[in-house]
């Protein structure tokens, strides 16, 4: 995952979809068409599953001596260096120093309407919007932590998005990773699970048949660019869709409420 995604649903829409209430900070959240590391983003944590909060994208472990921005966490950890889509090995995330505590007790739903991926060789010089056909917003599997700035004492809540090998749709871009998109039926399970095997079994690629993607302008590469026009398609979808779905495409009508 390239570390960019899209959150443009209204706070009211997110509250209704996830049955939560926004805290004071989250109430003022504005649509973000190019959300990247360092930005505040809406999440729902296992500690406060009824509340929508804003955390910083880019996890900083509580033990770190300086600010870090770990925006992705590989489900396989150091395993699967080749990003084999058919990988069946262990979930090494449970042993990584930065992630072994959060994966056990500090998980969150990362709210998204779509995510941005570049191709394996060209990166965000050839970007695509990837979306879920069955609806938005949806939840990505995240982990969070709280870091205390040693100089100011400020507490920083931050998160990382867990990634998995690419499904068949991501392979067609081609891209070598994908964020873990949670099925709606698994969202509360992700927050509530206590057994580690129940957690790790959710860290799998999302079904490709419920995903699609289309190319957009490389202007998305500049993190200072943030406008709906960035999501306008510059080519055809990876998988053709019927007319009733075309009317809802993200780059035109779909990315506004």
Domain extents in the chain: 4-254
Instruction: For 41-96, write each residue's pLDDT tens digit.
Output: 999 999 999 999 999 999 999 999 999 999 999 999 999 999 999 999 999 999 99
**Residue burial 107-132, b: 16+ Cβ < 10 Å; e: rest:** bbbbbbbbbbbbbbeeebebbbbbbb
CA 23 to chain centre: 21
Q: Does domain 4-254 have CATH number 3.40.605.10?
A: no
Residue 59's pLDDT is 98
* Number of other residues whose CB lies within 10 A of the CB of residue 64: 15
Residue 48's pLDDT is 98
Residue 125: is its pLDDT beyond 70? yes
What is the pTM assigned to this prediction? 0.94
Note whether 93 and 73 are within 8 A (CB).
yes
- Rounded CA-CA distance 215/252 in Å is 13
């Amino acid at each position: 995952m390239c570390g960019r995604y899209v959150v443009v649903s209204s706070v009211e829409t997110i509250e209704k979809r996830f049955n939560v209430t926004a805290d004071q900070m989250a109430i003022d959240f504005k649509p973000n068409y190019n959300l990247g590391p360092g930005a505040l983003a809406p999440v729902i944590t296992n500690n406060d599953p009824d509340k929508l909060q804003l955390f910083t994208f880019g996890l900083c472990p509580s033990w770190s001596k300086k600010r870090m921005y770990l925006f992705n966490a590989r489900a396989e950890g150091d395993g699967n260096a080749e990003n084999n889509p058919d990988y069946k090995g262990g979930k090494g995330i449970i042993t990584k120093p930065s992630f072994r505590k959060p994966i056990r007790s500090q998980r969150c739903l990362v709210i998204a309407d779509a995510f941005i991926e570049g191709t394996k060789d060209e990166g965000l010089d050839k970007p695509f919007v990837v979306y879920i056909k069955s609806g938005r917003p949806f939840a990505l599997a995240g982990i969070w932590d709280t870091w205390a700035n040693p100089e100011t004492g400020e507490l920083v809540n931050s998160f990382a998005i867990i990634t998995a090998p690419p499904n068949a749709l991501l392979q067609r871009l081609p891209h070598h990773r994908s964020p873990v998109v949670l099925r709606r039926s698994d969202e509360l399970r992700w927050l509530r699970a206590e057994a580690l095997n129940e957690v790790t079994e959710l860290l799998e690629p999302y079904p490709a048949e419920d995903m699609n993607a289309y190319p957009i302008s490389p202007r998305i590469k500049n993190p200072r660019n943030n406008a709906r026009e960035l999501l306008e398609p510059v080519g055809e979808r990876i998988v053709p869709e019927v007319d009733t779905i075309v009317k809802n495409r993200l780059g035109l009508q779909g990315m506004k409420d």
